[in-house]
Amino acid sequence: MLEGFAGGGLELRKRASGALALQGSFPYGKRAVLSDGGRSGRPKKEVIAPRAFAYRINTPSDHGGKKDIHLLSGHDYGKPLASVRSGTLDIRDTPEAVTFTATITEEMQEVSYVKDILAAVAAGLAIGISPGFRLPPKRAVPEPEKIEDEGMDPENGAHNAIIRTVMAALLYEMSIVTRPAYPETQIEQRNWSRDGLIMPDGLGTGLHRTLNRWRA
């Protein structure tokens, strides 16, 4: 007998074995407003294109098997919940979304930070999924992203925003987070230069910079 709770893009179910099944999805093709631009800046919006995360999900690792991807609490590798390599994370890519099922074992349920995040999910406080990724090198993917001007048409919701569309990215982790930005889930903001264009972080300058993101 399964007991379920649905909150945002997350669903938590108790299995007969005592393990918990945590299911979630990150939808493709949804436009998120990452910044309203403040008093003098331009709004910034982001879209993750369909299949943008497919490469690391579907391509085998050099050692056989799937490439490792983690499910974390709040983008903290010190707070893992499940992983592909451990056999506790099943992650799939479809044209509509990245979906996953994480198995939270009874042993992991006794860890303090796991108790905290499960309680937050059950209470509807942690309601979003945020992917941690970096852009592939241009030698592999010449145009992994594109930058466009939205134009000015206030009657139809266009306010001269800068729109970044991520066409291809290397997905390393999915995190459970509290702050929603995308309509059906959550993703945190990216690095933008002062002139409004993306400023991708270089490799080898620390994990959080490598994942090409900044926190509001």
Q: What is the pLDDT of residue 180?
A: 53
Copy the structure tokens of residue 153.
């048409």
Q: What is the pLDDT of residue 84?
A: 96
Strands 89-93 and 145-149: unpaired
CA gap 59, 95 in Å, rounded: 16
How far is the CA of 87 from the CAs of 12, 108, 174, 185, in angstroms?
18, 14, 15, 24
Q: What is the pLDDT of residue 184?
A: 53
216 residues of the chain, pLDDT tens digit each = 222 232 346 788 888 788 899 998 888 998 877 777 777 788 888 899 999 999 999 998 888 789 999 999 988 999 999 999 999 999 999 999 999 999 999 999 999 999 999 999 888 888 788 888 999 998 999 999 999 888 888 777 777 889 989 999 999 999 898 865 554 553 233 434 334 333 333 333 333 433 444 333
Q: What is the pLDDT of residue 182?
A: 56
CA gap 171, 54 in Å, rounded: 8
pTM: 0.76
CA gap 130, 208 in Å, rounded: 14
Q: Which residue has the tokens 């991708």?
A: 200
CA gap 101, 22 in Å, rounded: 6
How far is the CA of 189 from the CAs of 47, 178, 192, in angstroms?
11, 14, 9
The answer to whether the beta carbons of residues 159 and 43 sit under 8 Å apart is yes
Q: What is the pLDDT of residue 48?
A: 92
Q: What is the pLDDT of residue 9?
A: 66
Q: What is the pLDDT of residue 201?
A: 38
CA gap 58, 132 in Å, rounded: 17
CA gap 67, 52 in Å, rounded: 16
